[in-house]
Amino acid sequence: MASKAEIRAEAARLQAVFEAAGGVAVDADILQPASTLLDLYGEDIRARAFVTHDPLAGEQMLRPDFTVPVVQMHMADGAEPARYTYSGEVFRRQEEASERPSEYLQVGYEVFDRADVARSDAEVFTLFNEVLAPLNLRAATGDIGILIAAVQALSTSERRKAALLRHLWRPGRFRALLERFGGMSPVPETRTKLLQDADPLARAKPLIGLRSVDDISERIEALRADAKEPAIDAGQVALLEEILSLRANAPDALNTLNGMSQRMPGLSGAVERLATRLDALAGNGIDIASLPFEASYGRTSMEYYDGFVFGFYAGNRPDLPPVATGGRYDALTKMLGQGGSIPAVGGVIRPGLTLQLAQVRQ
């Protein structure tokens, strides 16, 4: 097993590669304000982060990720094109039975550029592919933007679309909602009784939670409005499930999605962006004919991705986490941009894993 000093040396080597590619070295505080992450992801982030409390600064989280603070830093100085690199520890809570570390080093590269989105996607993927080539890893790619476009193209209420998009990164919850909105599963009996009651709050016990009476009343009215909505067309549900299950090499996936866009025109823009990206990757020397594409890839990663997503894995070590992951997060720059925004894409590598795999190959 590699020592901490060896892993840090590997991190420095990787960061030097990213600096040579144009990345400006930056850092981020280990303690991050919890409010930002809670606003972005809700209470679910607590299950994955280490939370502490500062008597002056309030609730804080040990840095679970670099992208959010790097975006905040960049957007505070304006939305100009830039490239950054960084290296440092991140902290993620693991499941009880997991042997994966809760603290490990990441080295990252981020591109903020509005000139050519497809070219930026290809730049980041190609750079990672070249850096990791000696390890003979398995690549994975996907596109969250296609899933977002498919949900937005459904013939249903904006409220239902928003609910599906909110749970896009929680596959179990997403499927349960889709089945309910598609009329394939019944509304829970407790909810039916609640909605049939003329005044559900009349016999309510004293409030002990954080929601006010107005909040609860608004939620009840929203549920009543939803109950009157017709089921999503079965054909659209079936098409969305086809998209979610799509796995093929990139050109075949593109052909399939082009056919699907004839049945769901709202997909067209996202599919065109995929085609442009594949052209840019091919222009960089990537063999797209053998590049895997999985439409659902990235749904269990950080929730800020909204376009191209990728990862690199040790094919003979399924027990290991991904050696590298990344993707596009345009919407995040707008959310944190204080009125500005800029397309952005990036990724991270775990130097502990690259060193471990390199030692095995020696």
Q: Say if CB 354 and CB 10 are below 8 A apart.
A: yes
Dist CA 266 CA 161 (whole Å): 14
Is it the case that residue 190 has pLDDT exceeding 60?
A: no
Tokens read off for 251: 């050109």
**269 has pLDDT over 90:** yes
Res 128: pLDDT: 98
pLDDT of residue 36: 82
Going by their DSSP bridges, the two strands 344-349 and 324-328 should be labelled as antiparallel
pLDDT digits (tens, 9 = 90+) for 87-107: 999 998 876 556 678 899 999
Amino acid, res. 6? E
Burial 100-109 (b: 16+ CB within 10 A, else e): eeeebbbbbb
pTM of the model: 0.88
If we measure between CA atoms, which residue out of 172, 171, 174 comes closest to residue 162? 174
Question: For residue 342, what are the contacts with CB-CB under 8 A and spacing of at least 6?
Answer: 75, 79, 80, 81, 112, 113, 114, 330, 333
- Main-chain phi, psi angles of 339, to 5 degrees: 100, -15
Q: What pLDDT score was predicted for residue 191?
A: 59
**How far apart (Å, rounded) are the C-alpha atoms in residues 189 and 330?**
40
Q: Indicate left, alpha or beta for 350 from its phi (over 0: left) and psi (-120 to 50: alpha).
A: beta
Report the run of H or E that residue 91 belongs to, with start and end. Answer: strand 82-91
